[in-house]
Structure 1
Amino acid sequence: MTDTDKKQSLRRAHWLAGLAAGALLLPMAAQAETLQGALAKAYENNPTLTGARAGQRANDENVPIEKSYGLPDIGTQASYEENLIIPGNSFNAPGRSLTMGGQLTVPLYQGGAVRNAVRAAKFRVEAGQADLRATEASIFSQVVGAYMDVIRDQAIVQLNQKNVAVLRTNLQATSDRFEIGDLTRTDVAQSEARLALAEGDLRTAEANLIASREGYIRLVGEAPVDLQAPPQLPNLPGTAEDAVTVALGNNPDIESANEQVNASKADIGTAKSSRAPKVSAILSGGYNNFLGSLNSGVPGVGVLQETSNAAAGVQVTLPIFTGGRRSAQVRQAQSRSSQAIEQYIEVERGVIAQTRGAYAAWQANERIIAATRQAVSANALSLEGVRAENSVGTRSILDILNAEQEYLNTQVQLVSAQRNSYVAAFSVLAAMGKAEARDLGLEGGALYDPEVNYRRVKGELWDWADDPAPQQVANDTRAVPAANAGVPEGPPALAPQ
């Protein structure tokens, strides 16, 4: 194992340990929620994800459907007829009849149609499984974003609450000094105006927090309660080139596009098979009973009331001329294959751009965090100095108000950068194909494996092997109370330091 692998394994261990620790503390922290817990709930209950799984199960059925065209086909029919009006000149017409028959058709040669159709269906099953992985990573990315949005907005609300409290204290102090003639009415008006603006900013921050919580509920299915600080993400790449290398080999969108190319090539073979002869063996039989209603028309002479027949043979169908339809179908399949190849290149380009962009955003926000932390410390010292200078008359009340606003702004920028950095880093993992349940070590039950259903149905021959009636899997959110703007006591999970 290389030093890089060891470091990645250590980071992954720290990630899982942090998530597990959050899960162990869950009963002790008044329903505190960890990022792992939120991801696990979305994995089980998000309707987009559960719906995608159902769609993939439907996709699995294309394989046995295509296989069935190469298997024997057995059919029977039966009919009973009563002749209500018998023509006058029909002396021996039966009054009633019972007819039954059956036919067995065995395809012997289909020109490769079945083989190529089954291959295409299998490739599309693999493409669908890759699409399911992509959906899973997309949902997880959205959950991480929603989780961090709630934490960020809670921190911003707390910062604005603190700012409002400070400005109220400033206004009271300014009013007291105005009463004794130490300050002017202008100073009081400036303090009042700044407090009013701060209260408006607080209302905006509270509205944003409510929206973020509602977004979390939509994705996870439950309200966010006491969200804990997220753990460090594992296996982050050292360079953008490293990230792209992993993404090109593991991104599910690329895998899906590649399988679609393979399926489109098999479709060409299916189209070409329409020009080949088709050979089938046929065995048929029938039984007819006139139920005693058939007579010979000669008194005293009876006739046979029952007849039966059987036949066996080989049927050969050779298409000769169809007005160019079959060639058009081949050319159409070839063009669609060309389209699938170009779509693969488009997907590959998109993944490369997405990976590089997410990596750049992550690195940029890491630098923003470092710079903003310095700005927070500098503005804290600046505010303290301005207050001290105001006490000796060298600074105005407006100077204090401006210093307090700058301090608040940098704190808000810091928690926003922390949120953006974490989400961008997770987006890097998602682009690399490393942000799925199997990579994050989710607990709470067995992971969904689409291969299980495919193996179950791919060889099914029984025509009555239905699944149980469809049932809702994801929980609805009707009973979840509407989100509010209340924030927990104590320091925020994203604390500006």
Structure 2
Amino acid sequence: MTVRRLLSASVALFALAAPVSAYAGTLREALLKAYQTNPTLTGARAGQRATDENVPIQKSAGRPNIVIGGDYNEAILRSNSFQARRSVSADGTVSVPVYSGGAVRNGVKAAKRRVEAGQANLRGTEASMFSQVVAAYMDVIRDSAIVSLNKSNVRALDVNLQATNDRFEVGDLTRTDIAQSESRLALARSDLQQAEANLIASRENYIALVGEAPVDLETPPALPGLPASPDAAVSVALTDNPDILAAKKDREAALYDVRVSRASRLPTLSAFAQGSYSDNLGSLPNTIPGVVNQSVHQAAVGASLSIPLYQGGRPSALIRQSQALESQAIEREIAVERGVIAQARAAYASWQASLQTIESSRKAVDATALSLEGVRAENTVGSRTILDILNAEQEALISKVELVSAERNAYVAGFTLLAAMGHAEAEDLALEGGALYDPMVNYNRVKNKLSDWDADPRPQPVSTRTVDSPAQNANVDAAGAQ
């Protein structure tokens, strides 16, 4: 079993581990919804179908060409009475390309390579969209938690201010203590408003990607199949990353383009058959001596050879242009490879750093909770001030916010790492809800089409609109779906 299949099987466990519910409350359901209705994905699929058509277009240049025509003439002015008053004619030509210098053959090969490149790009679009959905999903979870933490902090500071006022009334504290408590409460309310705004923005972004509002999002399962080292991640990415594969196929297509350009200097040969028929419809006078037939028909077959001798330098310019584009494709392939390597290494480093931050933040949460409890106890005996309590509460809030942020960052970085490795596409995630989109189905359908009258139905939208979705709020209890 290949490394890709091993990792794909592992990632499939990630999707299957998520429970199914009636709403888009799990990450798998959010990914499936985006896969089916996101306009970026559905538009990319339509673009790939357009790319598929380049193969039959190129093939058509090597197929027979049949043309028929006809004329009907009615004379409204004649110089003499011996001319026909009316006539009808028809002609037809069948032309069959025999040799085109390899232009057709190489043009078809280039088109096929670009189909393969487009299919790889479609995989990359899926992975990119899924990464955005995962980030949006985790943003909603993170920002919901931060709103809850800030609300709890506001409530705690409000209670603290009331207690401070009570103790001031009995002469136990000063106005400075009240001012400090009021200042922290005002700042906490400001932070809460900002956190609520961030949550609304995250929910709206989720709607833009998934197509519906987030409802009671569940904590996603752990991501399996992650590499043990950055070198392992790069090794898999160099083999499976769709962007690298697409760049490779584009480079191969550019090589065939050079061969097509070279064919413009070579002879072309075609065979033809043609026939014509004309009839004066009995309008020639019978008095004309020697006129026996009112109609004429003829047919001929032959071959046409064209040998270009001089074309003003156009062929050489086309060749040089194609060679330059091939050179550009070669450099682009290297650039894409560089970017994928950097992305894989950076994602691995970010994932590892976030895991370490989670561990540190959990310790900090426990430590600040213990510290806050101790400071409050010491304050009751007069060894700690109100400011000490406020600082301890602030430290506790910061550590909790850092923890939920680190958990979000670790998950997103892990999924980004899978995407860089080429293992974050629909097939890898084992999305359920119907057959997955297979670009080969359309390609196999159209690659050998011969009819000039075969068209698809009028395009209809596949993605869903969100204009009717309600404006989101920061209600963490109702998930902002009201």
Provide TM-score, normalisation by structure 1: 0.93
Q: Does 1:291 align with 2:281?
A: yes
- Distance in 2 of aligned mates of 1:220 and 1:431: 22
Please state how far the C-alpha of 1:356 moved relative to its aligned partner: 0.4
Given the alignment, which residue of 126, 139, 142 partners 2:129? Answer: 139
Percent identical: 58
Which stretch of the first structure deviates more once superposed, 331-340 or 480-489? 480-489
Q: Kindly state the Cα deviation for residue 90 of structure 1 after the two structures are TM-superposed.
A: 3.3
One of 48, 51, 60 as aligned partner of 1:68: 60
> Higher mean Cα deviation, 328-337 or 299-308?
299-308
Q: 2:39 pairs with 28, 43, 47, which one?
A: 47
Of the structure 1 ranges 456-465 and 36-45, higher mean CA displacement relative to structure 2 is found in 456-465
State the Cα distance separating 1:191 from its structure 2 match. 1.1
Q: Which amino acid aligns with 1:443?
A: E
* AA of the residue aligned to 2:166: D
For 2:14, the aligned partner's letter is W
Instruction: Report how far residue 162 of structure 1 moved.
Output: 0.5
**Offset at residue 301 of structure 1 (A):** 8.3
Question: Does the 8 Å contact 2:4/2:236 carry over to 1?
Answer: no
Classify the secondary structure of the residue corresponding to 1:210.
helix
Which residue number corresponds to residue 321 of structure 1? 310
Aligned to 2:244: 254
Q: Is the 8 A contact 2:137 2:206 kept in 1?
A: yes
If the length of structure 2 is used for normalisation, what is the TM-score? 0.96
Contact 2:82–2:288 (Cα < 8 Å) also in 1: no
Q: Does 1:422 align with 2:411?
A: yes
Partner of 1:465: 454
Query: Hey, what's the Cα distance between the residues in 1 that align with 2:109 and 2:206?
Result: 41
Give the 3 Å change call, closer, same or farther, for CA 267–12 of structure 1 in structure 2.
closer
Residue 196 of structure 1, CA deviation: 1.1
The alignment partner of 1:77 has SS state of strand
Paired residue for 1:375, among 353, 364, 372? Answer: 364
Equivalent residues, number: 479
1:198 corresponds to which residue?
Answer: 188
CA offset at residue 327 of structure 1? Answer: 1.2
Displacement, 1:80? 1.9
- Corresponding residue for residue 153 of structure 2: 163
Q: Which residue of 2 aligns with 1:400?
A: 389
Q: Closer, same or farther in 2 for the Cα pair 1:13/1:473, shift >3 Å?
A: closer
SS of the counterpart of 1:75? strand
Aligned position for 2:91: 101
Post-superposition CA distance 1:380-433 (Å, at most 9, x none) = 111111111111111111111111111101111111111011000000000000
| Distance (whole Å) between structure 2 residues aligned to residue 259 and residue 146 of structure 1 | 32
Q: How has the CA–CA distance of structure 1 residues 70 and 337 changed in structure 2, closer, same or farther, with 3 Å as cutoff?
A: same
Residue 292 of structure 1 and its aligned partner are, at CA, apart by: 2.6
Between stretches 120-129 and 366-375, larger displacement belongs to 366-375
Unmatched runs of 5 consecutive residues or more in structure 2 = none
Note the aligned Cα RMSD (angstroms): 2.0
Distance 1:306 1:10, change over 3 A: closer
Kept in 1: contact 2:4–2:240 (CA 8 A)? no
For the residues of structure 1 that align with 2:52 and 2:251, how far apart are their CA atoms? Answer: 18
Deviation at 1:96, TM superposition (A): 2.2
> Which residues in structure 2 correspond to 1:469-480 (within 5 Å)?
469-480=458-469
Counterparts of residues 89-238 of structure 1 (less than 5 Å): 89-238=79-228
**Partner SS for 2:277:** strand
Structure 1 stretches lacking a partner, 5+ long = 491-497
What is the CA–CA distance in structure 2 between the aligned matches of 1:7 and 1:126, rounded to whole Å? 24
Deviations 1:308-327 (A, max 9, x none): 12111100001000121111
* Residues 39-60 of structure 1, C-alpha deviations (whole Å, 9 max, x = no match): 0000000100000000000000
Within the alignment, does 1:409 sit opposite 2:398 as a pair? Answer: yes
Distance 1:211 1:268 in 2: 50
Distance of aligned partners of 1:70 and 1:13 in 2 relative to their CA distance in 1, 3 Å threshold: closer
Shift of the alpha carbon at 1:220? Answer: 0.5
Question: Where does residue 378 of structure 2 map in the other structure?
Answer: 389
Question: SS state of the match for residue 279, structure 1?
Answer: strand
1:303-355 CA distance string (max 9 Å, x none): 53222121111000010001211111111111111111111111100100010
**Does 2:33 correspond to 1:15?**
no
